[in-house]
Amino acid sequence: MNVYNSLSRRVEELKPLEGNVVRLYTCGPTVYNFAHIGNFRAYTFEDVLRRVIQFCGMGVKQVMNLTDVDDKTIRNANANGVALGDYTQTYKDAFFADLKTLNIQPAEVYPAATDHIPEMIALVAKLVEKGIAYQSDDGSVYFSVRKFPGYGKLAHIDFDHQQTGLRCAADEYDKENVGDFALWKAWEESDGPVGWDSPWGRGRPGWHIECSAMSMKYLGESFDLHTGGIDNLFPHHENEIAQAEAATGKQFVRTWMHCAHLKVNGEKMSKSAGNFFTLRDLVEKGYTGREIRYVLVNAHYRTGLNFAFSALEDARRSLARVDECVDKLEAAAAGAAGDLAAAPAFAAKCLEDFTAAVSDDLNLPRGFAALFELVRGANAAMQSGGLKPAEAAAVLAVFRRMDEVLGVVFFGRAKAEAVPAEIQALVDRRAAARAAKDWAESDRIRDELAAAGWAVKDSKSGQQLSRI
Ligand code: AMP
Ligand code: ZN
């Protein structure tokens, strides 16, 4: 498996540093509001990444942090007059529900920042001890950028000419304003009840120290892979490297990967620009999680993606083609077990292309092309003389194998789950009518189902339901 490493700026082979498990840290959400689909571009990219790692035969241990203390969470909790923990819980719950909607595989660990304050304090203390961090007049602790010679190696910027002594209290800033950044922020009036005692007085951690402390806790001082959206590269990830490596003297992370932005009319989708849709906005408009997932993952992760509703409509049409083909194959397989090794030549070729594509820096556009080639090949084979049940089952096994990465194909069971309760009730009544050989009633219910948009076909294994 090859991936583009933002640190070396080269495509390199991804091999675990130890054993066969890739240790992966993915920067998670700030739980002050519902995540927007720009955020979900990052999380679906990371989901595809972990799926490809497993597809290529390696294990994965993924850690995704929940930022539940920062300027925004504190501001909103205090403005609403609720405790910080109560405020963020709502958005943590919403985040996990959204992950399910998008069929994102859960990470192995979801550490929350507020549960790891002692680890962050210990890391800051180590940096102070080493003379790399210092306390300023206001009680905050800053990282002295000029004390870490490697500063700038991820962003590929030579900071030697930078002035020293500048300080930046905000978590986010641009390259022009680089300076010493806050590791620990002294308590301020606006923090209200939020704060923890530390050797430097009451305060709270900076955003960057959170990720260094929690990643090293769960993945070790040196680990394989760290990812996020491209906006995380500087200063967040640069600062994470500085904090970790200055403290341990070891390489923090071998490979860094960043996804390009989801845009709206050419501009980054963001809360601050107000040009965003949450996942819930789109679901309310009638789009399904898998249609949204399809749009998000069907572009190369390093290419900017412009959000448009027409893409969701295209996704619906494309997925309907896949559904129709899988339906027919399931009927043709008639319950036969699928064996990848028995796949007809056209399907084996598609799987080969798919495997080459996804293991080449997650080339999902080429992966989807292989999926649709499989749809075309399967339809053609079924039309001309048909496939034997074992062959149809083997083609289905190829779809399944591809879907381990894609996560958008509905197989029989998933489809049954998607059937609304009132439709299932009609199907059940029809089954009873057929058992009683009441063909008139069976036909009447079939018409009723058709009027509701569902086609029913009778096969040896029972009724097969599909959308009209
Ligand atoms: P935040 O909650 O702002 O820290 O962002 C969470 C994750 O979403 C980070 O990995 C960001 O880089 C990523 N992200 C934010 N906006 C976008 C966007 N428009 N497109 C892609 N990724 C984004
Ligand atoms: Zn982070």
pLDDT at position 167: 81
Rounded Cα–Cα distance for residues 283 and 106 (Å): 21
- Under the banding of pLDDT at 50, 70 and 90, the label for residue 465 is confident
Q: Which CATH architecture has domain 2-259?
A: 3-Layer(aba) Sandwich (3.40)
User: 268: Cβ below 6 Å to ligand 1?
Assistant: yes
Q: Give the list of residues 6+ apart from residue 249 with CB closer than 8 angstroms, or none.
A: none
Atom of ligand 1 minimally distant from the CA of 305: 20
Q: Is the pTM of this model over 0.85?
A: yes
Q: Compute, in angstroms, the gap from residue 26 CA to the centroid of ligand 2.
A: 7
Three-state secondary structure readout of the chain: CEEEECCCCEEEECCCCCCCEEEEEECCCECCCCCEHHHHHHHHHHHHHHHHHHHCCCEEEEEECEECCCHHHHHHHHHHCCCHHHHHHHHHHHHHHHHHHCCCCCCCECCEHHHCHHHHHHHHHHHHHCCCEEECCCCCEEECHHHCCCCCCCCCCCCCCCCCCCEECCCCCCHHHCCEEEEEEECCHHHCCCCECCCCCCEEECHHHHHHHHHHHHHCCCEEEEEEEHHHHHHHHHHHHHHHHHHHCCCCEEEEEEECCEEECCEECCCCCCCCCEHHHHHHCCCCHHHHHHHHHCCCCCCCEECCHHHHHHHHHHHHHHHHHHHHHHHHHCCCCCCHHHCCHHHHHHHHHHHHHHCECCCHHHHHHHHHHHHHHHHHHHHCCCCCHHHHHHHHHHHHHHHHHHCCCCCHHHHHHCCCHHHHHHHHHHHHHHHCCCHHHHHHHHHHHHHCCEEEEEECCEEEEEEC
Tokens read off for 86: 């109560």
**Could you give the percent of the chain with pLDDT greater than 70?**
97
The answer to whether residue 161 scores a pLDDT higher than 90 is no
Q: Give the list of residues 6+ apart from residue 392 with CB closer than 8 angstroms, or none.
A: 329, 330, 332, 333, 334, 336, 382
Nearest ligand by distance to the CA of 236: 2
Mean pLDDT to the nearest integer, 25-41? 97
Measured by CA distance, the residue closest to atom 18 of ligand 1 is: 38
Tokens read off for 181: 């950044």
Rounded Cα–Cα distance for residues 90 and 78 (Å): 15
Per-domain residue ranges for the chain? Answer: 2-259, 267-415, 421-467
Q: Compute, in angstroms, the gap from residue 212 CA to the centroid of ligand 2.
A: 8
Tens of pLDDT, residues 77-114? 999 999 999 999 999 999 999 999 999 999 999 999 99
Tens of pLDDT, residues 186-198? 999 999 999 999 9
pLDDT at position 160: 65
Q: Compute, in angstroms, the gap from residue 338 CA to the centroid of ligand 2.
A: 42
User: 77: Cβ below 6 Å to ligand 1?
Assistant: no
For the domain spanning 267-415, the CATH number is 1.10.730.10
The answer to whether residue 337 scores a pLDDT higher than 90 is no
Atom of ligand 1 minimally distant from the CA of 39: 8
pLDDT at position 164: 57
Mean pLDDT to the nearest integer, 215-230? 98
Tens of pLDDT, residues 294-328? 999 999 999 999 999 999 999 999 999 999 999 99
Mean pLDDT to the nearest integer, 36-64? 98
User: 258: Cβ below 6 Å to ligand 1?
Assistant: no
pLDDT at position 165: 63
User: 54: Cβ below 6 Å to ligand 1?
Assistant: no
